[in-house]
Chains A and B, each alone.
Chain A
């Protein structure tokens, strides 16, 4: 089987840039949310629709990013 409808887009969550990568494979939608720099995966979600996969990935990313502290330099 072949992946279809591959897309990438960047969104901002609480001041952090997040990269959303989504594709369809075998009738399921796969979304990965990563933190852009360095690009570590914050969430990998499989769902029945693009909307469901992306919204759940964003929710998980938001939860993790809320724990990141900015320190004075």
Chain B
């Protein structure tokens, strides 16, 4: 018998969203790097969040400050008890970023539509093109203080790298991991050095998904990450280039596999690969356990 996810309540399927997408006290949000895909057509009743303008601090490199997060929620018609269903393009890549940030600020009921936009399109489900105008909540949203146990900052990563106290999972492509390319193909180079954090394991984020965009089974995920030394006995630090791909892996490890101590290092390679004096390893990963 196959094992189920540790927290199956954080996933809904496309059929469920088709039936419940316009329920009272439920908000469906399409999240992507920008709103181009949303503007082409989206799940009926869904609103849009753009990573580049709405889910990051526009000045300081950081997640949204608490007041800005609260404002976004209020403007989106989301209250503390609203069920939020996130979905997006590319296997929910940026939806996972929004999920991570909502958990940092303590939103209780946030879920991801398994398979995301791709599965919705492939199934030929209803879409609409007019942007949904959310009605603001009756009361301003009050976020919790940020839960920074879900996030890793540079000093913590440096310490873990030196001591070997955490399993470092690099979720970028193999070519970014080895140092052959300094950014995903077709995108501008955003670091001074290529390679990876010494000792990191390479598990590209997309390996957690099936071809239809849904998440792989618990057994498959356990096998995938277990082979790289991931277990409950050691903290896991996930990183990528700017922290969004690694938020997807963070979601998989924390909510689908149920790891207690997993953090997203959103500074990621654009921080480490630009840092003066930071140790860098090039080439393929060594076998698990090999120094």
- A interface, CB within 8 angstroms of B: 1-4, 6, 16, 21, 23, 25-26, 30, 32, 34-35, 37-42, 44, 46, 61, 64-65, 67-71, 73
Contact indicator A73/B282 (Cβ below 8 Å): yes
| 3 residue pairs, one from A and one from B, having the closest CB atoms | A64-B186, A37-B173, A35-B185
Contact indicator B205/A61 (Cβ below 8 Å): no
Which residues of the partner chain A approach B61 to less than 8 Å between Cβ atoms?
A: none
Which residues of the partner chain B approach A25 to less than 8 Å between Cβ atoms?
A: 40-41, 127, 129
**In-complex Cβ contact of A40 among B37, B90, B127, B178 (8 A):** B90
Closest chain A CB from B200 CB (angstroms): 15
- Please measure, in the bound complex, the distance between the C-alpha atom of A46 and the C-alpha atom of B129, giving whole angstroms: 14
Contacts known (A38-B245, A39-B206); A73 close to B93, Cβ less than 8 A: no
Closest chain A CB from B280 CB (angstroms): 12
Which residues of the partner chain A approach B283 to less than 8 Å between Cβ atoms?
A: 73
- Please measure, in the bound complex, the distance between the C-alpha atom of A21 and the C-alpha atom of B40, giving whole angstroms: 13
Residue on B with the closest CB to A60? Answer: B186
Is there a chain A Cβ closer than 8 Å to B131's Cβ?
no
Which residues of the partner chain A approach B181 to less than 8 Å between Cβ atoms?
A: 68-71
- Please measure, in the bound complex, the distance between the C-alpha atom of A70 and the C-alpha atom of B188, giving whole angstroms: 13
Residue on A with the closest CB to B205? Answer: A38
Contact indicator A68/B125 (Cβ below 8 Å): no
Task: List 10 other contacts, CB 8 Å, given A34-B90, A41-B90.
Answer: A2-B126, A2-B127, A21-B118, A21-B121, A26-B129, A37-B184, A38-B240, A68-B185, A69-B181, A73-B180
Is there a chain A Cβ closer than 8 Å to B9's Cβ?
no
Is there a chain A Cβ closer than 8 Å to B172's Cβ?
yes
Residue in B121, B173, B180, B240 whose Cβ sees the most chain A Cβ within 10 Å: B121
Contact indicator B186/A61 (Cβ below 8 Å): yes
Closest chain B CB from A65 CB (angstroms): 5
**In-complex Cβ contact of B127 among A3, A35, A42, A67 (8 A):** A3
Closest chain A CB from B146 CB (angstroms): 27
Is there a chain A Cβ closer than 8 Å to B139's Cβ?
no
Which residues of the partner chain A approach B189 to less than 8 Å between Cβ atoms?
A: 69
Contact indicator B172/A40 (Cβ below 8 Å): no
Contacts known (A40-B90, A44-B37, A73-B282); A3 close to B186, Cβ less than 8 A: no
- Please measure, in the bound complex, the distance between the C-alpha atom of A26 and the C-alpha atom of B128, giving whole angstroms: 10
- Please measure, in the bound complex, the distance between the C-alpha atom of A41 and the C-alpha atom of B218, giving whole angstroms: 28
Contact indicator B186/A35 (Cβ below 8 Å): yes
Is there a chain A Cβ closer than 8 Å to B179's Cβ?
yes
Which residues of the partner chain A approach B126 to less than 8 Å between Cβ atoms?
A: 1-2
Interface residue ranges of B153-208 to A (CB < 8 Å): 172-175, 178-189, 194, 204-206
Which residues of the partner chain A approach B36 to less than 8 Å between Cβ atoms?
A: 41, 44
- Please measure, in the bound complex, the distance between the C-alpha atom of A16 and the C-alpha atom of B204, giving whole angstroms: 17
Which residues of the partner chain A approach B245 to less than 8 Å between Cβ atoms?
A: 38
Contacts known (A68-B186, A71-B194); A1 close to B90, Cβ less than 8 A: no
Which residues of the partner chain A approach B41 to less than 8 Å between Cβ atoms?
A: 1, 3, 25-26, 30
Contact indicator B182/A71 (Cβ below 8 Å): yes
Contact indicator A1/B93 (Cβ below 8 Å): no
Interface residue ranges of B234-291 to A (CB < 8 Å): 240, 245, 282-283
Residue on A with the closest CB to B194? Answer: A71
Closest chain B CB from A21 CB (angstroms): 7
Closest chain A CB from B81 CB (angstroms): 33
Is there a chain A Cβ closer than 8 Å to B63's Cβ?
no
